Structure 1
Amino acid sequence: MRLVFGLVLILGIGLAGFAVYMAKNYIQGYQAQLAQERAKSAPAFETVDVYVATQKLEYGQRLLKDHVSLVTYPVGSLPKGTYSTEEDLFPEGEDEPRTVLRTMEPKEAILDVKVTGPGEDAGITSQLQRGMRAFAIKVDVASGVSGFLRPGDRVDVYWTGRDASERGIDGRRGGREITKLIETGVRLIAVDQEANGDTTEAMIARTVTVAVNPQQVAALAQAQSTGSLSLSLVGANDESVAEVIEVDQNMLLGIEQAAAPTPQVKEEICTIKTRRGGEVISTPIPCATN
């Protein structure tokens, strides 16, 4: 009886071991097959983790760690100026956070053009690139495109004044009045005291502030002091470069300026005088050439 029990026990252990072995092989085969399927269905492009907004962020809001999270992005579709590490986005921690410059929606990538530097406010200075200066231009309803200007727009600047190189009818300097394009594609960074580019309300501005280099500052200052400036709004997707434009009243009305009269050259007459008795006789002769 004991022998039979022992044989049954040995047989049971053998069958259990065989079952475990078969189960192990089956599981390993299944895992290998699953890994192959995952490899086939895995994306065939490189990815990277970048910070995105977890909620709607508006102009002037302080950017904190609770407002962002890491999301996987395809490298080929990655926008320029993203942040991939906490050290890049929060180099000073939350003691000196960045400030939002443009409204961002949830899941939108945090870009360096939409936030200030660490500890900076959302003022005009944060929107000036290296080498650029802020310059204010006086405008009204007519010259300011009827209040349709917003921070972030681009404008062409026209100057209207008298040509100082010419003389008028009365002999004074500054004859004809002309309108000339002096700057193209200048970016607005503020309208009056508003620097938020997300505003949608029309504003009848008294001044607009543009970002220009020092040479353009001098040109605009001279133009503003010697005439009047008008702005022309450039389309958002317009990448064309305006040509040199100068218009005066004659060109506007299609009047051709009369050509200056050709000076008439007075014919020179040479004579030789001879005296015959009491009479003097003049005889024309060819004039000598130099």
Structure 2
Amino acid sequence: MKLLYYQENNFGDRLNPWLWEKLLPGVIDDDETTAFVGIGTLINDKLPRKTKKALLRVIFSTGVGYGQGMPQLDDSYKIYCLRGPLSAQALNVSAKLAVTDGAVLIRKLFNYHSQKVYKFSYMPHYELAGIGWSLVCERLGFGYIDPRWSIEKVLLSISQTEVLFAEAMHGAIIADALRVPWVPIITNPTILQFKWQDWCQSIGVEYKPSYIKRLHHPRQKRDILYPVRLARDWARQQESKSQLLHIAQTIQPTLSSDITIENLTQEMYERLQEFKQDFEAGLFL
């Protein structure tokens, strides 16, 4: 059974092999005749082409989004659960299939009762992460969490903060699972709000993002224009610093209720056991 996920150096995508190898030992291999479609916004018209060798496609906690439309569901699709109600509506399937994002199962694997190190931390989108945000956070006394770091380092860093500012959606998902209040951030209009709304509805909270300007990272090249760029970059970072500080001072962070996240974790775990029973019964041979 081949695991399908976006092959990017991004925390949310790299959670897939890390998480499923621990929860489903001996299940994932290189057999492309069955596809396991897990964490990510993977359900769209491109999915059949990405799994063209698959006779069966297991959908487990996946979200709808991107692409130009929906795949034509047929007998090759076995849906155990989806990221949220908007995904179920888009696919025109039972609302009972809408649980939440599979990353909630981190609660079964990670001890999240860590000593707090930072009052606030910021985790940008992986495409926008870099030295600029690291410098801004350092000057504010905030933690900086890079989604390109190792899974273990990101998990520990999130658990050590009191409030997470997150443009990276799986930063917020993990924060909520680890009982860390979070604030969604948008610095780039290309952020897909549908997937955030889908997940937020699954955990019973309202999606209320805070908007700040995109921060362009400093160039390291030293030439005749270096002093000019240095002054420009300092001004940009000061502006980002002011915007983050304003959010910290004025925005109430979000957190789902303890009972909601525990119920969703248990429901997701039960769906996982259902899949494991089907696998052991030879359903995917």
Q: Which has the higher contact order (CA 8 A, sep 6+)?
A: 2
Comparing both structures, which one devotes a greater share of its residues to helix? 2
**Superposition TM-score, scaled by structure 2 size:** 0.21
From the CA coordinates, give the structure whose radius of gyration is larger. Answer: 1
Comparing both structures, which one devotes a greater share of its residues to strand? 1
